Structure 1
């Protein structure tokens, strides 16, 4: 067993605190990383506060990890000691089912092994613990090379916020000449704007806050619409695709009204309450869909695209002792646009 220290939740009603725990031993296919940076995702908060009702405590969260390779298994060929490596939302899959065989391992029928809170496939009696910690053991197949030309601090959120928005934009073939809506300007939304513009689309941001307009334009949006302004929503028409990143309960009917015939709205936020949908809203062959993270191959593609375009997340770097304050600020929307913890510092 490998000793580790981290910041985790003992129960849903207690703040995160420093704790010690053990990781599984390495095998010949694994890497041991010294964690440098870890992003803070809203799902970390949902998990630590048991807002989805499925958390196993104690829990060390964190699935946007960048670290330096300290040790390499004997059969690993594409990493060496000293390399920068990234780990995202899942760290294993069955490899045998149809989704895995088709390169969509994130939809593994046997269930993915999450970066935290899942039984380890290689040691089922141990629950995985996340990147709010000093080290991580991962099968090298689920680790990714960090591009040399990108700031590793800004790379960390790409492992969740980045791939979560990149994947559906690619799946629905967003490109030049398309009109795309992005709902919400947070950790996911700001990446969605960057990617949609990099793909050549015209981007409209829907937000409930007029204060976010200038920043949305800076990030690449062509237009900002206040979603609480009924007249502005009625006058916005003809969008080809909408990526909805909001993780709180909200009305999607008005958003569907801005789509063209046969347009698609894709949900990537994870509200902890049901969303209301009127059946008339999907007339004209409009579709409501959903997407979750992306495959390992697709994440590798995304990182290469980011290297080519110079894309990273806008972040605020914090110390580990600021994690609880950061959780509260994420809930209140007070971050531009992703907290990243300096775990090495």
Structure 2
């Protein structure tokens, strides 16, 4: 028999693996588990593929730590409360064995206090967020009923905080500019202005005093205002009669002293139609009554805001008459509208910005 065994050919690899697996099964489960790799080799004929790397673990459940003050512990049983709270907690929250423990980002702390004899207060804080509070009236309730109410309320508070923590945080709304910032920005905006008001002037030659009104239309860009203006002036009744109708162009730059005060500095030039009804001749032409003239000057002004887009301004307008207007009166005396010009104007202006900041 032994000789036969010696002379017999060696069993194939599959037969050996089968015999080894049978022996390991007889030896017990651990041996069977050890034989699995050999069975895999025998069945596939190649080495087992390496296992895929495990995915990172999802965040663990919320750990709830409960603590009671001495007064609250006299009202409700700590053991009973913990059992009831464990039942009420959602699946992704677990009750910690101790009220204290290592710091973690996924910890809900529950503190139960008794501020008055008739009320229990529940305080819950999750992940370092703001503390939420809730009070429950326990006057006349048994300890078991009070514990049930506290457990239900605490679980609802924890669930609400968990939902609030999961909710996507909205980006902060853009900060709205302050009124001072809006006012500063409006100074450099394009603006259209309309102004009107009384105007008076003193001329060194000819009729001394002129009075009337003026109208102006301006466009401001980068604090520089270009304006078209027109004025109708005349001498007061009782003196030498003169009508001065002018139209011109002015430019000025404004400096803000405060939100409601500003200064302006500029220059102006105009051409005028001059009429002398009482003159015997004008420009050496007998019987003529009309001529033309021109003047130029500088402007200095101060303005104050009355409210909204309305501004009240006072302007000093010194200058010179560029083209004299000679005339001769009915008595034969010669004269001319010429020389220095000093004007003073009061105006009420309304501005409209092209695009107001918001």
Task: Note whether the superposition's TM-score is higher than 0.5.
Answer: no
Greater share of strand = 2
> Larger C-alpha radius of gyration, 1 or 2?
2
Greater share of helix = 1
The structure with higher relative contact order (CA 8 Å, sep 6+) is: 1
TM-score by length of 2: 0.18
